[in-house]
């Protein structure tokens, strides 16, 4: 089975443990997820099976939406509720208008310092591995993009935010930085991923639902097709002889194809509607090269 499961990861489970569960239940060796969620977080976790694992890199580029409850007045070493308190402040004087004004500083292109408790690597080792040994290293700031940030609820010491962002954005760093800007410290109290690209929490499958579907044999009905994450890309239909060329790694001249501009990537389908390949345009040679073949 090749496709994608939209899982609702519960808090307290790691993303890797859900991949292991799906691999065990489906008996499919090739299983992977896109966009790791912290073990304390919950929400949308796309899990790819079979040939769908080959499009994880494209799914990683998709936008995400989160809801987070930030607790003001306390900072932790992990930037969330699972960590050790490292700083305390007084949030009693913070008002809603002050929070909304400060949030303006986080809209658009920003820079963030990743938490020590993250999966980024330093000299070949994960930062969280170093952090657990009490080692702290310098982390270079990274660009991040927040499309929109909305204050949904204000009830001190908790502020609830809804955040639309691009890949590489750390909500835990956002919570920490917000607390620092407000002068009172802060950390993530809870975090839910509401959407990831085309997948939403409303349509996500819980673990009990997933296990029931495997038990009664209906689990394949939960699978989204591989190209569901590529729906915004241009597409074309190729003749059978062209599909055969692509399957063997051959390219197609731009003048052989109509309906798509000669740039970027596109989806190629056969006459029966099956996804044949992802093609990438070679401007120098004016040809469409197969980047990933699925047939």
Active site residues: 38
Task: Give the integer Cα–Cα distance in Å for 57 and 94.
Answer: 41
β-strand pairing of 158-165 with 42-49: unpaired
Closest by Cα among 250, 259, 253, 255 to 277: 250
Q: Using CA atoms, how far apart are residues 119 and 55, in angstroms rounded to an integer?
A: 21
What contacts 210, CB < 8 A, 6 or more positions away? 5, 7, 21, 22, 25, 219, 222
* Structure token pair of residue 23: 């691999």
Q: Any idea what the Cα angle at residue 157 is, between residues 180 and 190, rounded to 5°?
A: 85
């Amino acid at each position: 089975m090749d496709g994608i499961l939209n899982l609702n990861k519960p808090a307290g489970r790691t993303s890797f443990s859900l991949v292991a569960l799906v691999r065990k239940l489906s008996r499919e060796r090739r299983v992977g997820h896109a966009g790791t969620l912290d073990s304390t977080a919950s929400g949308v976790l796309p899990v790819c099976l079979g040939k769908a694992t080959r499009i994880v890199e494209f799914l990683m580029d998709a936008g995400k939406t989160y809801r987070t409850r930030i607790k003001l007045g306390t900072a932790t070493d992990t930037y969330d509720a699972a960590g050790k308190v490292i700083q305390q402040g007084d949030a009693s004087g913070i008002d809603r208008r002050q929070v909304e004004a400060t949030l303006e500083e986080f809209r658009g292109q920003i820079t963030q310092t990743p938490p020590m408790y993250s999966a980024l690597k330093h000299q070949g080792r994960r930062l969280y591995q170093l952090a657990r040994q009490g080692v702290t290293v310098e982390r270079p700031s990274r660009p991040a993009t927040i499309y929109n940030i909305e204050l949904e609820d204000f009830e001190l010491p908790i502020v609830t935010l809804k955040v639309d962002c691009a890949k590489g954005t750390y909500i835990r760093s956002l919570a920490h930085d917000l607390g620092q800007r407000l002068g009172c410290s802060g950390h993530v109290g809870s975090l839910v991923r509401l959407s990831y690209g085309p997948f939403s929490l409303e349509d996500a499958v819980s673990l009990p639902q997933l296990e029931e579907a495997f038990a009664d044999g209906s689990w394949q009905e939960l699978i989204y097709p591989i190209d569901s994450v590529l729906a915004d890309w241009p597409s074309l239909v190729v003749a059978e002889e062209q599909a055969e060329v692509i399957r063997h790694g051959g390219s197609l001249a731009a003048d052989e194809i109509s309906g798509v501009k000669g740039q970027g990537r596109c989806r190629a389908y056969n006459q029966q509607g099956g996804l044949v390949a992802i093609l990438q345009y070679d401007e120098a040679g004016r040809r469409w090269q197969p980047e990933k073949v699925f047939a």
